[in-house]
Structure 1
């Protein structure tokens, strides 16, 4: 369920495959070199008959989400494998989606602004019914692809904007900065390693916000004003 730089470490050759879920880019040489071919869920019984090299040597998982204008995956659709700052350039509205592979952050407004919602691999057939899962809007306007991360996680959170007030460095999930670190608020942060979700309430509840590596001096930049974030979680299942 992840990248493989050298298939020969597992098989002497690979001349057919079945993609059970997700999307992959396969390569004719090791270390993701040579001719490439995109594969989505389905059966591929004979590479040579497909015009491919007679064996796959390496592969990468490719994040992909499919948006639909209507509920239950109906109407016009749009396949997305990266960030999209304005869905209206592709669809009039988005009422359902299917995450084929990877993880994505959905936004209520264009340009990655407003309320946010985290989606991993699965089917989401009715945005209006997603409120029971914590989604606070019924139409997606923009989205970000969350890159795969391997290694440690580190984030320093600050009580005030512009890295002011009390601070605490996190390397693990924190279900309550008040209970664990006696911090009453979090209004800025510096993400050193990994990708994180921040939640408005303790125990990973309420409105959420995606934080990628970098300095975040004020959460107002993402459309959050007068909002406190009280719990933080690492995004561990990217591309699974």
Structure 2
């Protein structure tokens, strides 16, 4: 098993009841596997997973780390819609990101509850380049709040490529195979 393959089990009912769907790699449409687009509980057996409330890796994103999630409120969802998922690709220990706004850019490798405090004067990003070993979680609001977006190693030329509704990003957290959990609110 590679570093970023794993296993996750989705259940139709709360507390791991009802029909289930076991996934061990990218799954672009739960309905193709006979599972309706509803998940009320999830058991993540290995690695972290990026889940989407619509098929084809579209819609609201949710990060699910190893462990048990007995109801959809545990992963901060507003409803039980779930349509696709994929493991988050983690390569090792080092990670960095370049944030671009027009011709100016900022490179950083530490989490930031407010990007303005590390020198990025505007919250409107033009593009992102993620390099190194880890992934980044970008948040629309300061202090790791609001809609979140995962960006893995690669280039993202516009906010649409990281599945955002707009280019506003105000906080970010880097994550590698040895980092703290992806939920920074738990760190405070």
TM category, shorter: 0.7 to 0.9
- Displacement, 1:143? 0.8
Give the equivalent residue in structure 2 for 1:28: none
Alignment map for 1:178-197 (pairs within 5 Å): 178-185=116-123, 186-193=125-132, 194-197=134-137
Match of 2:19 in 1: 76
Deviations, residues 3-25 of structure 1 (Å, cap 9, x unaligned): xxxxxxxxxxxxxxxxxxxxxx6
Larger RCO, structures 1/2 (Cα 8 Å, 6+ apart): 2
Distance of 2:128 and 2:114 partners within structure 1: 16
Cα distance between partner residues in 1 of 2:178 and 2:13: 27
Q: Give the whole-Å Cα distance in 2 for the aligned partners of 1:176 and 1:151.
A: 23
Question: Would you identify which runs of 4 or more consecutive aligned residues in structure 1 move more than 4 Å?
Answer: 237-240
TM-score of the aligned structures, taking structure 1 as reference length: 0.66
Instruction: Give the CA RMSD over aligned residues.
Output: 2.5
Of structures 1 and 2, the larger Rg is shown by 1
Report deviation, 1:138: 2.6
- Listed as ranges, the gaps of 5+ residues in structure 1 are 1-24, 26-31, 33-59
| Alpha-carbon distance change, 112 to 182 in structure 1, aligned in 2, over 3 angstroms | same
Instruction: State the shift of 1:187 in Å.
Output: 3.6
- The answer to whether 1:98 aligns with 2:37 is no
Residues 156-171 of structure 1: pairs in structure 2 closer than 5 A? 156-159=98-101, 164-171=102-109
Structure 2 stretches lacking a partner, 5+ long: 182-188
